[in-house]
C-alpha cells in the first residue's frame, strides 16, 4: 500500500490549460503539503493544510489553488498554465508538526508546452 | 527569513571513501534537522534526522552532527557504495512552524 499517492505521475499539457493533481495519504497524518521541485532540484514549499485548514501559503501565483476536502486528501489545481510551471510537484504529509519528518508522494512531473 | 545553505552542490568520491555534506541554517530557533535522499526519478526519502538536544546521531554508515552555536549540521557517509549515489537534501524547522526549509541539494556520485 502506497502511503502517499499522487495522480497523475506525468502530465503534459498546453499553455493556458487548467489541470489538477490529486494527493491522498493513508498514514492518518493530519498535515499535508505541496512542494515544487524545479529543474535544479530545489524543493520549495507552496502550501500546507492541517486538518483541512490552510496553514502555509507561500508566495505562489493565484493561478495555483489547493483544496483539502478532508485531512487525507490535498489536491492542487492550476489555472492558465505557463511554461514556467513545468516542474515536479511533490505532495507530502506529516503527523504532529513534522515530529517524524515528511513522507513524500512519488511526484507529478508537469510539462507545459 | 529562514534559509538553509548546503555545500557542496556536487560531490564525487571513490567507492569506499567517506562523503561529507554540510549545511548552515539561519533561524536560531530551528530545532529539527532531517536529511533526505532522492534517487533519480524518485521521491525524497528521510534517511536520518537529529534534534537540537543531541550533538550526533549514527545509523550504520550514516551519521549526522549538529553544532547549534555555529548553526551548522553535517551528514557523514562512510564506506560509500555506488547505491549511495543520489541527491541529498538537508532541512531545518522550528517547533512552532510546520514549514520544513530545504537546502539546495548535493548530488553525490560514488565511482565504482
Residue A86 has pLDDT above 80, yes or no: yes
Tell me, what DSSP letter sits at residue A85? G
pLDDT in tens, B30-84: 999 999 999 999 999 999 999 988 899 999 999 999 999 999 999 999 999 999 9
Reduced to 3 states (helix: H, G, I; strand: E, B; else coil), residue A90 is strand
> Is A98 close to B32, i.e. CB distance below 8 A?
yes
Q: What are phi and psi of A28, to 5 degrees?
A: 75, 15
| Separation in Å, CA of A92 to nearest CA in chain B | 10
> Is A41 close to B43, i.e. CB distance below 8 A?
no
| A2 in contact with chain B, both atoms CB, cutoff 8 A | no
Name the band, by pLDDT with cuts 50, 70 and 90, for residue A64. very high
A56: chain B residues, CB-CB within 8 Å: 98-99
Query: Looking at residue A59, what is its pLDDT?
Result: 77
Mean pLDDT of the A36-47 span: 91
> Is B32 close to A40, i.e. CB distance below 8 A?
no
pLDDT in tens, B5-18: 999 999 999 999 99
Amino acid at each position: 500500500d502506497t502511503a502517499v499517492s499522487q495522480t497523475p505521475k506525468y502530465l503534459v499539457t498546453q499553455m493556458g490549460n487548467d489541470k489538477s493533481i490529486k494527493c491522498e495519504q493513508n498514514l492518518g497524518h493530519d498535515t499535508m503539503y505541496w512542494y515544487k521541485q524545479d529543474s535544479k532540484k530545489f524543493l520549495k514549499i507552496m502550501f500546507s493544510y492541517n486538518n483541512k485548514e490552510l496553514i502555509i501559503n507561500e508566495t505562489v501565483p493565484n493561478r495555483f489553488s489547493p483544496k483539502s476536502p478532508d485531512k487525507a486528501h490535498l489536491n492542487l489545481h492550476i489555472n492558465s498554465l505557463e511554461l514556467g510551471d513545468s516542474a515536479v510537484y511533490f505532495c507530502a504529509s506529516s503527523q504532529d508538526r513534522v515530529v517524524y519528518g515528511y513522507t513524500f508522494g512519488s511526484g507529478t512531473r508537469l510539462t507545459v508546452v | 527569513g529562514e534559509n538553509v545553505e548546503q555545500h557542496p552542490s556536487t560531490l564525487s568520491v571513490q567507492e569506499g571513501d567517506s562523503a561529507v555534506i554540510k549545511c548552515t541554517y539561519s533561524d536560531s530557533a530551528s530545532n529539527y534537522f532531517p536529511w533526505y535522499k532522492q534517487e533519480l526519478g524518485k521521491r525524497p526519502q528521510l534517511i536520518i534526522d537529529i534534534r537540537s538536544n543531541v550533538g550526533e546521531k549514527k545509523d550504520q554508515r550514516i551519521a549526522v552532527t549538529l553544532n547549534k552555536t555555529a548553526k551548522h549540521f553535517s551528514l557523514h557517509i562512510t564506506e560509500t557504495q555506488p547505491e549511495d549515489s543520489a541527491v541529498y537534501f538537508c532541512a531545518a524547522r522550528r517547533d512552532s512552524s510546520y514549514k520544513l526549509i530545504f537546502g539546495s541539494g548535493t548530488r553525490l556520485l560514488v565511482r565504482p
